[in-house]
């Protein structure tokens, strides 16, 4: 049974059982605890936590997931994968244990002719949480399982939570016995290779705190309703039903290995070492394509770093298979073709995906080239010292600084006849991981933090948003907090958080800054400085009581700062137009990666794997957008279904979660996006857009900054004044300024070069006098003095070399010092005859450097250094004389 058929049957089974089909969420959701979505229930967390009323009582989904904790194990085993699909069914206060068990049992054991998977009931085992007698009885009653195929296990195995504060509960796992050829008897407790877990049924009922019930700690509360969250591993079911040994041999994964075989000329299943590399390529190619498809680009932190590591491991593994040509685009094509029936967006977005992988591969190949040179130097140093082990510090430097994978270092070291100090390397890696974990722990935010806001939400419901049509409205205070604590009243001067039953204030979201304004009551005024939505559906107004005393349940008039709202709305609408202009000029690979809409200005981030946008192209984008403003197009905002929005071709931003009903902001055939922000009525209201800059903010991500409306006009006015002033001073027309200024700059550079030559000649002119003043120290001519004023840096080095040349064939040492404020520079040069007597410049520096609070080093003929005590120069000269005498 093919994988796409497995997911189709799952969905059909649960839709027939009254579940609403829900599309997979993006791998990137706004969750502070997760880099990537790692379970099917993640998109449903607000419903489980009671933050938002669920729109359906039952749901089913096929969720794409990425787990990155075991990247280093991928390929070494056939059990570890980074990307996988999780088929799930969910109940929100509807059915509970009995329903979950019955639905699962019917699907896995029904015949394939009847739409099931056709697993043999006699080969099914289950596990339950240690004291869940109810689940045991249900398995016996519904499935007829004998007690010997039901095993109790502890919290580590049969309690589920997300590893952070949030929802959880006991679970029951379903296993399939693959047969005695795969391991020993005794059920899952004895051998989880023979008894393979295929489905986990979570009976979600608890809220865990900082300490998990997995470790024996009690939950801190119960969820508002008992819920069901299940996850069936699609890939595991696939390899069981397809009669292969592991996920890498299933229909959607094996084609990537086949392509790698074509590139390398090697065959999977022949050599164990090669097999690891083939599996890394297959797993990471799928993960990389899916992650890029959801809007991530390679970088050096967060999700981007994980993506970069995945892609570079593919390139590394390919090279170890003997493939030196670019491979990432070809592997991405295979993933696209195999996964497209379930994820058609991989086809429509492939131009951007291929551009990202090609750019990253090109950059990494350059890194490999640079790293190889560093590696060759390290090998030469190790061998020259008679060693046979490459130091772990150098291996770590190659890995950490140059991005050189340790596996490649080991391979190349072996070819060079060396081993690598892996213990030291691992110790340094562990130190780095510990620092990273400590840093992450300081930023971790649990889901128990919003309990106060959820209480307000549960009591009074969602905040009705009126801001699309009204900027002033009457409302009632339903929540009042000071320092995060609910209060009945707050006095003048206190910082407060106010929740209203209805509001015209826009809460910061989607790059748009929050509204500001006032809340006015009969005897008080609250200045609103910020509006946030800490839990979905609730808008919290943050500000200061500027007059009177505000109290809970008071009536207010909520008034938005109209001028600021209008300015921000102009910027937000302008951002949509800039987005459309950039995509029109650069293609679909240019996708929005972030934005900021503030009064009078905007910031737009977008993916650009090909690098900087040329000034001419940027000017054309600016001109095109301003033309659209002049056309004064209507800006229409309306709600529709997700399917209709897709049919209309509306842009959907990566990482955003959309429901079945979406809001479209439409500017005709030029721009059409899904957006919840506020906008102008017609494009002409924006006035004008002036692009200020375009620059890189990370690998493959560019940033455009622009001014909007009156701010743009004022900027151009200042520029005009500046140009007029320059034209007047240079006695030139404005269009002549570039040529005139270039001429001035060139003349200035010529004058500086002439001046530098004169100064250098003057410095070298003192060389003869310095050489003539050499003193004899036991047959060695010594010139040890402070250099003439103005001599430092490269001049000092050149002067020392010139003086040494004038000492001829006799043994000679030149030591010149330059003091500047609190710094000292010095250079030591020796003649060939001096070196024959054992006087090396680098070896002489330690004899006098402490006198000037410094240090240095170099070769036998020339060395240099610096210090922090110019007053010690005379003592340094005396120390050098003494050293020569000794």
Q: Check if the beta carbon of residue 288 is closer than 8 Å to that of residue 311.
A: yes
Q: Are 823 and 870 in contact (CB under 8 A)?
A: yes
User: Are 476 and 521 spatial neighbours (Cβ–Cβ below 8 Å)?
Assistant: no
Other C-beta atoms within 10 Å of 167: how many?
A: 25
**Cβ–Cβ < 8 Å for 577, 570:** no
Q: In a 10 Å sphere around its CB, with 0-12 CB exposed, 13-18 middle and 19+ buried, how is residue 441 labelled?
A: exposed
**Do the Cβ atoms of 688 and 581 come closer than 8 Å?**
no
- Give the list of residues 6+ apart from residue 105 with CB closer than 8 angstroms, or none: 142, 143
Specify whether the CB–CB gap between 804 and 830 falls below 8 A: yes
Question: What tokens were used for 127?
Answer: 């596990």
Nearest to 289 by CA among 75, 83, 34, 2: 83
CA proximity to 597, closest of 622, 623, 576: 576
| Dist. CA 535–CA 461, nearest whole Å | 12
CB 496 within 8 A of CB 480: yes
Name residue, tokens 């019930």.
Answer: 213
Gap between the Cα atoms of 762 and 804, Å rounded: 17
CA distance 698 to 300: 8
Q: Tokens standing for 511?
A: 């790059």
Give the pairing type, strands 672-674 and 555-560: unpaired
The partner residues of 160 in beta bridges, in order of sequence, read 169
Is 675 annotated to bind ligand?
yes
Place of tokens 């015209």: 504
Collect all residues with Cβ–Cβ distance below 8 Å to 814 and sequence separation of at least 6: 770, 782, 783, 784, 800, 803, 804, 807, 827, 828, 829, 830
Q: How far apart are CA 214 and CA 485, in angstroms?
A: 31
Strand 124-129 versus strand 661-666 pairing type: unpaired
Q: Distance (Å, rounded) from C-alpha 389 to C-alpha 86?
A: 45
What are the backbone dihedrals phi and psi of residue 661, each rounded to the nearest 5 degrees, phi first? -105, 130
Closest CA to 767 of 800, 794, 808: 800
Place of tokens 């610096």: 866
Please tell me the distance from the alpha carbon of residue 442 to that of residue 448, in angstroms, as a whole number: 16
Q: Are strands 58-66 and 20-21 parallel, antiparallel or unpaired?
A: parallel
Q: CA-CA distance, 553 to 559, in Å (whole number)?
A: 18
CA atoms within 13 A on the CB side of 626: 17
Could you give the C-alpha distances from 660 to 12, 640, 642, 677, 706, in angstroms and in order? 19, 8, 5, 18, 34
Question: Partners of 780 in the beta sheet?
Answer: 777
Q: Is 572 annotated as a binding residue?
A: yes
576 in a known ligand binding site:
yes
Alpha helices in 81-197 (DSSP H): 97-109, 133-138, 155-158
Beta bridge partners of residue 474, listed in sequence order = 557
- How far apart CA 151 and CA 190 sit, in angstroms, is 11
The residues with which 174 forms a beta bridge, in sequence order, are 126, 199
- Tell me if residue 731 falls in helix, strand or coil: coil
Confirm or deny that 80 is annotated as ligand binding: no
DSSP track, 759-772: HHHHHHHTHHHHHH
Q: How many residues in the chain? A: 886
Binding site per annotation, positions: 572, 576, 675, 679
Q: Which residues are annotated as a binding site for Zn(2+)?
A: 572, 576, 675, 679
């Amino acid at each position: 049974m093919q994988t796409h058929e497995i997911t189709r049957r799952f969905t059909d089974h649960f839709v027939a059982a009254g579940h609403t089909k829900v599309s997979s969420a993006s791998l990137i959701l706004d969750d502070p605890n997760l880099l990537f979505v790692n379970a099917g229930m993640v998109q449903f967390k607000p419903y489980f936590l009671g933050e938002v009323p669920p729109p359906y009582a039952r749901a089913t989904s096929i969720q794409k997931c990425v787990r990155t904790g075991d990247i280093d194990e991928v390929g070494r085993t056939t059990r570890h994968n980074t990307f996988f699909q999780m088929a799930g069914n969910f109940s929100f206060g509807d059915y509970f244990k009995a329903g979950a068990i019955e639905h699962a049992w019917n699907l896995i054991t029904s015949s394939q002719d009847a739409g099931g998977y056709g697993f043999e009931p006699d080969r099914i085992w289950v596990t339950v949480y240690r004291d869940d007698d109810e689940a045991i009885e249900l398995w016996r009653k519904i499935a007829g399982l004998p007690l010997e195929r039901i095993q109790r296990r502890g919290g580590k195995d049969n309690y589920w939570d997300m590893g952070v504060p949030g929802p959880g509960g006991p679970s029951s796992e379903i296993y399939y016995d693959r047969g005695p050829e795969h391991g020993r008897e005794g059920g899952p407790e004895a051998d989880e290779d023979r008894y393979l877990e295929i489905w986990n049924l979570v009976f979600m009922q608890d809220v865990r705190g900082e300490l998990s019930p997995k470790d024996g700690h009690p939950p801190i509360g119960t969820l508002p309703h008992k819920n069901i969250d299940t996850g069936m591993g699609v890939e595991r079911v696939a390899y069981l039903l397809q009669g292969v040994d592991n996920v890498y041999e299933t229909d959607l994964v094996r084609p990537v290995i086949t392509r790698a075989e074509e590139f390398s000329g090697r065959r999977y299943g022949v050599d164990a070492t090669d097999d690891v590399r083939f599996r890394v390529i297959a797993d990471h190619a799928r993960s990389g394509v899916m992650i890029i498809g959801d809007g991530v680009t390679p970088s050096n932190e967060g999700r981007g770093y994980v993506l970069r590591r995945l892609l570079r491991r593919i390139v590394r593994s390919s090279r170890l298979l003997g493939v030196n040509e670019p491979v990432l685009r070809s592997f991405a094509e295979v993933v696209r073709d195999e996964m497209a029936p379930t994820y058609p967006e991989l086809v429509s977005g492939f131009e951007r995906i291929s551009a990202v992988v090609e750019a990253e591969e090109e950059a990494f190949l350059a890194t490999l080239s640079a790293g190889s040179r560093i590696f060759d130097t390290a090998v030469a140093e190790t061998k020259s010292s008679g060693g046979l082990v490459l130091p772990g510090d150098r291996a770590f430097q190659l890995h950490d600084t140059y991005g050189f994978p340790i596996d490649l270092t080991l391979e190349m070291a072996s070819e060079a006849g060396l081993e690598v100090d892996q213990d030291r390397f691992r110790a340094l890696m562990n130190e780095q991981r510990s620092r990273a974990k400590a840093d992450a722990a300081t930023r971790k935010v649990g889901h128990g933090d919003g309990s106060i806001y959820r209480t307000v939400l549960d009591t009074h419901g969602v905040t009705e948003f009126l801001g699309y049509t009204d900027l002033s409205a009457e409302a009632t205070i339903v929540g009042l907090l000071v320092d995060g604590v609910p209060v009945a009243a707050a006095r003048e001067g206190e910082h407060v958080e106010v929740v209203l039953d209805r509001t015209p204030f826009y809460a910061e979201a989607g790059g748009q800054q929050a509204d500001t304004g006032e809340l006015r009551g009969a005897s008080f005024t609250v200045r609103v400085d910020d509006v946030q939505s800490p839990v979905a559906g609730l808008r919290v107004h943050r500000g200061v009581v500027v007059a009177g005393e505000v109290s809970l349940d008071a009536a207010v008039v909520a008034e938005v700062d109209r001028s600021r709202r209008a300015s921000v709305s102009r910027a937000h609408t302008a951002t949509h137009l800039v987005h459309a202009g950039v995509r029109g000029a650069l293609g679909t690979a240019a996708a929005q990666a972030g934005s900021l809409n503030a009064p009078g200005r905007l910031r737009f981030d977008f993916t650009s794997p090909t690098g900087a946008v040329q000034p001419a192209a940027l000017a054309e984008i600016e001109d095109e957008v301003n033309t659209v403003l002049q056309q004064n197009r209507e800006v229409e905002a309306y709600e529709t279904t997700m399917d209709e929005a897709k049919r209309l071709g509306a842009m959907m931003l990566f990482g955003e979660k959309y429901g079945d009903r979406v809001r479209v902001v439409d500017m005709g055939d030029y721009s059409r996006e899904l957006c919840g922000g506020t906008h102008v009525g017609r494009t002409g209201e924006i006035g004008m857009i002036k692009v200020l800059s375009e620059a890189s903010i990370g690998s493959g991500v560019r940033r455009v900054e622009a001014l909007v409306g009156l701010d743009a006009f004022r900027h151009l006015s200042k520029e005009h004044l500046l140009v007029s002033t320059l034209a007047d001073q240079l006695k030139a027309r404005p269009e002549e300024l570039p040529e005139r200024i270039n001429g001035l700059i060139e003349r200035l550079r010529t004058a500086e070069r002439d001046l530098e030559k004169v100064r250098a000649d003057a410095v070298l002119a003192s060389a003869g006098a310095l050489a003539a003043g050499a003193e004899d120290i036991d047959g060695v001519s010594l010139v040890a003095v402070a250099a003439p004023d103005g001599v430092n840096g490269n001049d000092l080095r050149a002067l020392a070399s010139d003086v040494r040349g004038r000492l001829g064939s006799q043994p000679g040492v030149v030591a010149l010092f330059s003091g500047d404020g609190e710094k000292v520079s010095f250079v030591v040069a020796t003649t060939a005859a001096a070196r024959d007597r054992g006087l090396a410049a680098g070896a002489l520096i330690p004899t006098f450097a402490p006198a000037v609070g410094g240090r240095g080093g170099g070769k036998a003929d020339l060395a240099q250094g610096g210090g922090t005590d110019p007053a010690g120069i005379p003592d340094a000269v005396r120390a050098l004389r003494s050293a020569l005498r000794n």
